[in-house]
Amino acid sequence: MKVTVFGTGYVGLVQGTILASVGHEVICADIDEKKIADLKNGSIPIYEPGLEPLVKENFESGRLKFTTDLKLAVEHGEFQFIAVGTPPDEDGSADLKYVLSVAETIAVNMQTPKIIVNKSTVPVGTADKVAASVQKKLTERNTNLLFHVVSNPEFLKEGAAVNDCLRPDRIIIGTNNSDVEEKMRELYAPFNRNHDKVIVMDIRSAELTKYAANCMLATKISFMNEMANLAEKLGADIEAVRHGIGSDPRIGYQFIYPGCGYGGSCFPKDVKALIKTANDLDYKPELLEAVELVNEYQKTKLFEYFNAHFAGNITGKTVALWGLSFKPNTDDMREASSRVLIEALWEHGVKVQAYDPESMNECQRIYGQREDLALVGTKESALKNADVLMVCTEWSQFRAPDFELIKESLTDKVIFDGRNMYDPKLMNKKGLKYYAIGRGASVKSV
Ligand code: UDX
């Protein structure tokens, strides 16, 4: 089948490549000429495990093409995927200008019927707006070409996007048209094996499903972080509590890891956007507001421990920081907890020596050259002449470090762990002071 994907970011590039990999003919279009030129040369603008060889293979086979020629792109696909960004406005609502601009491009150029598939995370009601905008242009063009707008939200996780796309848990199709449903089922048939993963519903429910899923996951995290904060006050260990509650299958072990807050391009933005949607409807979303507040507070925890440990005398200190990305296996630092921490440290005259397996360039891009930031090549070199160690991201290479070296290198033998990676008892044995999130005894004194 012929597919056009507008937008070559995480979602569009991964989705387009995966559709090509099962035999569909895919054109990925973008207005960014450099990005398209790089992609044609085999250079992938993002770090996503497994993506590069897959792009290369499908590009070379001719099933996957890249273009900035929007007219050609519209002509190509019976399916027109919209996978462009929806950055938050100042008031938290999702900015639809890119989505609507693609809708207009399609309407201006289409010569045959189209199924317009909305992949971008967009507020409920956006499919109606897209349909209205396309219809308006077609009327202006004096044509009554047929088109349908489908909501087909993505659920891919950064760092696991290729696998999530190849083996989806569910394929949500929001449409009220049975022919369109049939076509969408055919398109996704290669991914719909073992049991039926396609869930068909009305368009608005599909749009809300995406927000509800992300907000539920964010709620689980903020709930656990609140329990962690209580555990600290009570002298309990949140890791034991997590184990204890996760064993209840109604709760489950997934997504109940406490830490220094959730980040990334989805949770913070989507929680904010749903709060805004609710407010616009004169509904006060008490729970969602609390989820966001807890998360904002959580991102300040490591700094708080650090400041309390030194009784506020922190100016002039040097921190070794392990982990900059918002989670492991990505170079993405959007809304990362590390940024809140680094900026708070700088504000108090603290120097940061940071190491991350993938985000060094990204960090450089965001903060540029500064005297109080050293981006170093290994986790060991981050420790040199540092006073303490802080961990913001649970990269697997941080799981079993050389604790003797850490102890030898740091002037104050302290680890502030935002991802609860180490065993407090072991740290004690090794002669290291250890602060972690919600681990009773380790932080009760703070
Ligand atoms: C998320 C959703 O998982 C995905 O389905 C959706 O399509 C996009 O948003 P992603 O942003 O890639 O994916 O990251 P995810 O792996 O979900 O992690 C988000 C944040 O939550 C990270 O900062 C992570 O550290 C944090 N997290 C996750 C916790 O703090 N505790 C947990 O138990 C799980």
Ligand 1 atom nearest to CA at 264: 11
Q: For residue 14, what pLDDT band results from cuts at 50, 70 and 90?
A: very high
Which tens digits make up the pLDDT trace of 189-223?
Answer: 999 988 899 999 999 999 999 999 999 999 999 99
Percentage helix, strand, coil, to 5, in the chain?
Answer: 45, 15, 40
Q: For residue 88, what pLDDT band results from cuts at 50, 70 and 90?
A: confident
User: Would the CATH topology of 2-201 be identical to that of 235-446?
Assistant: yes
Over residues 326-346, the mean pLDDT reads: 96
Position 442 scores a pLDDT of 59
Q: For residue 441, what pLDDT band results from cuts at 50, 70 and 90?
A: low
Position 38 scores a pLDDT of 95
Over residues 412-425, the mean pLDDT reads: 96
Q: For residue 359, what pLDDT band results from cuts at 50, 70 and 90?
A: very high
* Pocket (CB within 6 angstroms of ligand 1): 154-158, 214, 217, 221, 255-257, 259, 262-264, 266-267, 326-327
Q: For residue 443, what pLDDT band results from cuts at 50, 70 and 90?
A: low
Ligand 1 atom nearest to CA at 259: 30
Nearest protein Cα to ligand 1, atom 30: 262
Three-state secondary structure call for residue 149:
strand
pLDDT at 113 > cutoff 80? yes
Nearest protein Cα to ligand 1, atom 20: 262
Q: For residue 282, what pLDDT band results from cuts at 50, 70 and 90?
A: very high
Cα dist from 118 to 6, 102, 131, 252, 412, whole Å = 10, 11, 11, 31, 53
**What fold is seen in the domain 235-446?**
Rossmann fold (3.40.50)
Task: Report CA(238)–ligand 1 centroid distance (Å).
Answer: 19
Kindly state which CATH superfamily the domain 2-201 is placed in.
NAD(P)-binding Rossmann-like Domain (3.40.50.720)
Task: Report CA(265)–ligand 1 centroid distance (Å).
Answer: 9
Which tens digits make up the pLDDT trace of 121-149?
Answer: 899 999 999 999 999 999 999 999 999 99
The pLDDT > 70 percentage for the chain reads 99
DSSP bridge partners of 66: 28
Q: Please check whether residue 354 is in contact with residue 414, taking contact to mean a CB–CB distance below 8 angstroms.
A: no
pLDDT at 183 > cutoff 80? yes
Q: For residue 163, what pLDDT band results from cuts at 50, 70 and 90?
A: very high
Over residues 89-116, the mean pLDDT reads: 93
Q: For residue 413, what pLDDT band results from cuts at 50, 70 and 90?
A: very high
Q: Which of 122, 163, 262, 265 to probe ligand 1 with, by most ligand atoms within 8 A of CB? A: 262
Nearest protein Cα to ligand 1, atom 25: 327
The predicted complex's ipTM stands at 0.91
| Residues with Cβ within 8 Å of residue 141, at least 6 apart in sequence | 107, 108
pLDDT at 92 > cutoff 80? no
pLDDT at 270 > cutoff 70? yes
pLDDT at 446 > cutoff 60? no
Q: Which of 221, 298, 398, 417 to probe ligand 1 with, by most ligand atoms within 8 A of CB? A: 221
Nearest protein Cα to ligand 1, atom 10: 157
Task: Report CA(96)–ligand 1 centroid distance (Å).
Answer: 23
Which helix (H) or strand (E) segment holds residue 351: the answer is strand 351-355
Ligand 1 atom nearest to CA at 158: 12
pLDDT at 79 > cutoff 80? yes
Q: Which of 217, 299, 331 to probe ligand 1 with, by most ligand atoms within 8 A of CB? A: 217
Which helix (H) or strand (E) segment holds residue 199: the answer is strand 198-201
Ligand 1 atom nearest to CA at 218: 21
Ligand 1 atom nearest to CA at 221: 31
Distance of CA 118 to the CA centre of its chain: 18
What does the DSSP 8-state code read for residue 62?
T
Q: What's the pTM value of the predicted model, to 2 decimals?
A: 0.92
pLDDT at 98 > cutoff 80? yes
pLDDT at 90 > cutoff 90? no
Position 194 scores a pLDDT of 85
Task: Report CA(264)–ligand 1 centroid distance (Å).
Answer: 7
Nearest protein Cα to ligand 1, atom 9: 266
Q: Is 266 a catalytic residue?
A: yes
| Residues with Cβ within 8 Å of residue 399, at least 6 apart in sequence | 421
Ligand 1 atom nearest to CA at 225: 30
Over residues 24-51, the mean pLDDT reads: 93
* Dist. CA 268–CA 262, nearest whole Å: 8
Per-domain residue ranges of the chain: 2-201, 235-446
Over residues 256-281, the mean pLDDT reads: 95
Give just the sign of the alpha carbon dihedral 125, 127, 129, 135.
negative
Give just the sign of the alpha carbon dihedral 11, 17, 22, 25.
positive
Task: Report CA(445)–ligand 1 centroid distance (Å).
Answer: 30
Tell me, letter by letter, the H, E, C secondary structure of 97-119. HHHHHHHHHHHHHCCCCEEEEEC
Annotated catalytic residue, options 165, 260, 266, 363: 266
Over residues 322-340, the mean pLDDT reads: 96
pLDDT at 171 > cutoff 90? yes
